[in-house]
């Protein structure tokens, strides 16, 4: 009897752990890929910074900003650039995120923001487990 109780407790823990893991993984992150052109870059162009925010026009700029999603070095001779990152959406709900890109030079000066683009991410957690039951052999 003790062994059966231990198996039941173990099975319940596994089910609860898997449901919690699935909700956390599904609810928090997703990939984003952005692209932009930068024609006639200056000789001292060092790279680009990609920012993301839940507020339109609300990105705080700078290398230490919490809105900084990615920093990419400039590839000389290239005018078409892409950035790919994993985005964590606050609250794990359906959320609209707003993105901008800036350029920065070798002295650390940062340009003004690019045009802003947005995308709605739907990272809602899966529904709760409706019923668990004991399986016996």
pLDDT value, residue 76: 85
Q: Which long-range contacts (CB under 8 A, 24 or more apart) does 126-129 make?
A: 126/22, 126/23, 126/26, 128/19, 129/15, 129/19
Residue-level pLDDT, tens digit, the chain, 137 residues: 444 343 333 333 333 332 333 333 333 567 788 888 888 889 999 999 999 888 898 888 988 888 898 898 988 878 888 888 877 766 666 788 899 999 999 999 999 999 999 988 776 666 677 777 778 87
Radius of gyration from C-alpha coordinates of the chain = 23
Question: CA–CA separation, 14 vs 53, rounded Å?
Answer: 36
C-alpha pair distances (Å), 117 with each of 31, 50, 86, 108? 16, 11, 17, 25
pLDDT value, residue 2: 44
Question: CA–CA separation, 28 vs 123, rounded Å?
Answer: 6
pLDDT value, residue 88: 72
Closest CA to 28 of 122, 131, 101: 122
Architecture of domain 31-122: Sandwich (2.60)
Domain boundaries, the chain: 31-122
pLDDT value, residue 91: 62
């Amino acid at each position: 009897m003790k062994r059966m109780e231990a198996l039941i407790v173990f099975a319940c823990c596994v089910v609860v752990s898997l449901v919690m893991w699935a909700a956390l993984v599904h609810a928090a992150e997703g990939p984003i890929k952005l692209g932009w052109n930068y024609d006639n870059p200056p000789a001292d162009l060092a790279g680009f910074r990609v920012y993301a925010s839940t507020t339109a026009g609300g990105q705080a700029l700078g290398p230490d900003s919490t809105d900084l999603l990615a920093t990419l070095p400039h590839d000389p001779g290239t005018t078409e650039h892409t950035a790919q990152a994993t985005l964590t959406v606050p609250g794990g709900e359906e959320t609209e995120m707003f993105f901008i890109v800036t350029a920065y030079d070798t002295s650390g000066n940062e340009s003004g923001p690019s045009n802003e683009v947005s995308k709605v991410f739907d990272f809602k957690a899966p529904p709760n487990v409706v019923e668990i039951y004991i399986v016996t052999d």
